[in-house]
Amino acid sequence: MRLAHHRDTNNEELDPDHWVAVQGPFKVLWRSLTIVYWYQQYFWKHIAFHAHIPGMRPLTIHIALAYLIFYSIAFGLSVFGWWREVLALWIVPHILASALIIYFFAYLTHKPHEVHERYRDTNVFWVKGKILEPIVNWLYMFQNFHLIHHLFPRIPFYLYPNAFRSLSRCWRKSAPTSTNTGISADACLGRRRSLTVRLRRSFLFACRSLTSTSLALLRLGSKWFCRERNIALDGMCRTRRQIAITPPSSGENGGLLSRIRCR
């Protein structure tokens, strides 16, 4: 899936991440939340059992078995009454985490999703400052230098800033030559951008959506917990009502019956 994205970046038909290339915050939110469904559909349509891709048959079988085990466990736990835990601790976190990853690492880094040329199909959000730059880099997991990830996928993510600075010096030195050949220096550097108001608004929108979804899950979990607690207490009360201490046949306390009341 990653190789298809790197090979056909911003291609409407072949890039799997182009699913989120839509306009409007609600459309982007919906496409981000359904990226797991789209990835599975893309895999079975463009990758699985394709003869022209070497080694695809065993890989497809491996992935199919992994999905079979995954959904079998989820279905089995749901059948035995753990469907709430499966949703709250497994399915919903998987969907939300995938939505956040596709939004910050694919949507923002390739917006506006129109350029197909190499070096220009990926954005760089370079925030300068001794204090602000490392904070933004770590919060963004260094994917604000997403151009380096596309140029050198094997470089560790925490070395993206160093690689960008090293390469930018080389690109600046060769800028006149590149310009004379018809390729601007900006084409090599990518469309370097600082954090704009649009990026801040997108980040706040994602945070608000995540917060509202988390609160809704917490409310659902608290209601379920209270209901289960009431059911358990009611069962204890019924059990106690059925308990009676049999009176002795003779003695001082004969004929007395002790009852346990449940309030």
Residues 232-241 have pLDDT tens digits of 556 655 555 5
> Residue 193: its pLDDT value, please?
46
Residues present in the chain in total: 263
Helix (H) or strand (E) holding 130: none
Residues 65-84 have pLDDT tens digits of 988 998 899 999 999 989 99
Q: Shortest CA distance to 40 belongs to which of 66, 58, 78?
A: 66
Q: Hey, which residues does 191 pair with through a beta bridge?
A: 123
* 144 in Cβ contact with 136 (< 8 Å): yes
* 75 in Cβ contact with 81 (< 8 Å): no
Helix (H) or strand (E) holding 180: helix 175-180
> Residue 100: its pLDDT value, please?
92
| C-alpha distances out from residue 80 to 56, 73, 85, 206, Å | 36, 11, 11, 35
CA–CA separation, 179 and 196 (whole Å)? 28
CA–CA separation, 253 and 256 (whole Å)? 6
CA–CA separation, 155 and 167 (whole Å)? 13
> Residue 95: its pLDDT value, please?
92
Q: Is the pTM of this model over 0.85?
A: no
Residue 63's Cβ-count burial label (10 Å; 0-12, 13-18, 19+) is: middle
CA angle 134, 123, 173 (to 5 degrees): 85
Range of weakest confidence among 16-20, 25-29, 147-151, 164-168: 164-168
> Residue 30: its pLDDT value, please?
93
CA–CA separation, 173 and 178 (whole Å)? 10
Q: Grade residue 186 by pLDDT with cuts at 50, 70 and 90.
A: very low
> Residue 33: its pLDDT value, please?
93
Residues 121-177 have pLDDT tens digits of 888 888 888 888 889 888 888 888 888 888 888 888 889 988 888 887 766 655 443
Q: What percent of the chain has pLDDT over 70?
A: 63
Summary mean pLDDT of the chain: 75
Torsion of the alpha carbons at 196, 200, 203 and 205, rounded to the nearest 10: -120
Q: Enter the tokens of residue 229.
A: 């607690």
